[in-house]
Each structure stands twice: as C-alpha cells, then as structure tokens.
Amino acid sequence: MSSDPRLWIGFDLGGTKMLCHVFDSDFNLLARQRERTRGHRGAERGVGRIVDTIEDAIKDLKIERVEVAGIGIGCPGPLDLDEGIIIDAPNLGWSDVHIRKVLEEHFGCPTFIMNDVDAGVYGEYRFGAGRNARCLLGVFPGTGIGGGCVYNGEILRGSKGSCMEVGHMQVDPNGPLCGCGRRGCLEAVASRLAISANAIKAAYRGNAPYLMENYGADLSRVRSKALAESIKHGDEAVAKIVEHAAQMIGQVVGNLVNVILPDVIVLGGGLVAAMPTRFLNPVRAAAAARAMPAFVDSFEIVAAKLSDESAVMGTAAWAQYQVDEKVGV
C-alpha cells in the first residue's frame, strides 16, 4: 500500500461495458467492478448505475467515502469539460447530463470528466507505451477513429471540450459519407467498421472465402479477430483492405507529425491488438513518406500496451494530477 493514503477512482464509460477501478496513490489496483452499458440507455437510470457501480467497488474495500480523493470518468461524445456535462452521447441515448455535479454531490470529492480516447492516451502516457513522452499522439482505430494528444503532461484540448478528432480529418474529398455528415473523413475509409464493410464486399465477390464461410455477411460478426483470422487463412483481398486502411492512417499521422512533431505515436484499439505488425508497418511507412524529411527520424510509432485498462487507468491518473496541481501536493 502506498504511503499516501488517498484513493483514486477511474471510470470508463466509453465502451460496451462500464469499468470502475479503485487505485491507491501508487496506482496499485485495489478493486474493480464491471457493468454492462447496454440496458441503461436512459440517462437517469444510467447515471444511477454509475453511482451504484462505484458504491459497489468502495463497499468491496470496506472503506469510507472520505478516503476517495478524486474520481475521473471517461465519457463518449461531445463534452463540456469545464462544467462536467455530457452534451450528447448518441450511443447511450444521453444528452445534457450533468455527470460531475451528480458524482460530486453523492461522493463528496472532486470529479473530472474527460473524453474516453483522451483517457486512453493519458493512460498510455502515464503507464504504458508512451510513458513520459514530451509529446504523445494517440490514434485509436475502432468503430470510428479516435485521437488524443498529451503535451508536456497536459491533455491537449479546446476552449471547452476535447479536440484531436483525427477520424474526421478529410483524406478524400469525394470519398464515402461519414457519420458526421461530411465526406471522405479518415474514419469513413479506415475505421474497423469501414474495413469490415469492405471485407464483406470482397467476400460477396468470392475474394474472401474463409471470411464468408466462417463469418458470413453479418457486419456485427466481422470484427478485428475475424479480420485477422481471415488474413491468416489466406484471404489476400482482406489483407489488402487492411493494408490500405493502415496506409491512410499513416498519411494522417505523417501530416500530424508536421504540425506537432510528437516523439511517440501510440496506436491502440482492437485492430492493432489483433494484428500489430500487419497494421503498424504500413502506418510507419506511410507516415515516414508524408512527414518532412527532417522529421522522419524524430518519432516512433508503437502499439499501445494497456489494452482495455488504458482509459480507466488514465481517468484515475488524471483525477490525481488535477487534484495535486490545484492543492499543490
């Protein structure tokens, strides 16, 4: 146990499950709770489950609430970071949720909300593949493509909300329609969802027989593991689709290198975890081809280390950082 008796709670609301971890001040894991996000689409009910999940984690440790020094919570969707409000979370069906106010009133400790991808990048900065980088860029391809940046220990953000919407950088003006309503965004052509859709088209044409035989044309089944297995069993068309997507991500990474010159770029998410070498190598090559020649040897591109733990660790660590910065601990 740390000599600092304070405890920190990290909460990740960004995936299909609510994850709640309790850490000591050395970030040893003391307790964890997991709750399905599905089924809590109403904001009032969902926030109630967040409170209950934190209560369950505290109860397991048999501690008093006063020992909890801060709570960090990673949230999807547009956020008002200053006021602690989830402005809109379409996947949850929530809007205008004053999550910080609810948690602070209930638990009596400071609470900090953050974008869930920012949380994952900050977790990798504190504990993972980007540990102690001066400038860390994170790119997380999944259903969409999220991005985040930690610069000199601070999460890069906008005036009120998060920024680094890497997935919505335009890569093809005449490209497919993106979920944001614009055309040719990176995530419209290179997200796992886009890759899966193109792989299913290849399967329909007879160019991905393993994928068709084992996973069919159900988009919900063709996830990262299915894509990796398809390639492993000889579906060359799927391999080319993945490589093209990785190259597109690499081009955007190269452009961002020219803007902020990160010393480390971390790639995370299920696609990278399922086929790290196949995904990272095209990203590295495309980024090096797009970055200014003087910058090519100034950065490294690596795979994330913390997997699903990055965001929940990042939220707790951010809460600790914010509290210590404000009170001068």
Q: Which tokens belong to 15?
A: 């995936």
Phi first, then psi, for residue 183 (nearest 5°) are -105, 145
Closest by CA to 179, choosing from 162, 196, 191, 171, is 191
- Flag whether pLDDT at 81 surpasses 70: yes
Q: Using 50, 70 and 90 to split pLDDT, how confident is the model at 131? A: very high
Nearest-CA neighbor of 168 among 190, 153, 198? 190
Report residue 158 CA to chain centroid gap: 18
Please compute the mean of the pLDDT values over residues 63-87 and round it to a whole number: 90
| Beta partners for residue 23, in sequence order | 8, 29
277 pLDDT tier (thresholds 50, 70, 90) = very high
Local confidence band at 1 (pLDDT 50, 70, 90 cut-offs): low
Per-chain mean pLDDT for the chain: 92
Q: According to the model, what pLDDT value does residue 38 have?
A: 58
Distance in angstroms (rounded) separating the CA atoms of residues 82 and 108? 18
**Between residues 128 and 94, the one the model is more confident about:** 128
Read off the pLDDT of each residue in 289-295 and give the average, rounded to a whole number: 97
pTM over 0.85: yes
Query: Which residues pair with residue 136 across a beta bridge?
Result: 150, 264
* 3-class DSSP assignment, residue 158: coil
Domain range annotation of the chain:
7-122+308-327, 133-303
- Decide if pLDDT at 261 tops 80: yes
Neighbours of 90 (CB within 10 A): 11
pLDDT band at 275 (very low <50, low <70, confident <90, very high): very high
* pLDDT for position 132: 86
Q: Is 133-303 in the same CATH topology as 7-122+308-327? A: yes
For the stretch 200-236, pLDDT in tens is 999 999 999 999 999 999 999 999 999 999 999 999 9
Which tens digits make up the pLDDT trace of 43-74? 888 899 999 999 999 887 877 777 899 999 99
Task: Report the CATH superfamily, name and number, of domain 133-303.
Answer: ATPase, nucleotide binding domain (3.30.420.40)
CATH number of 7-122+308-327: 3.30.420.40
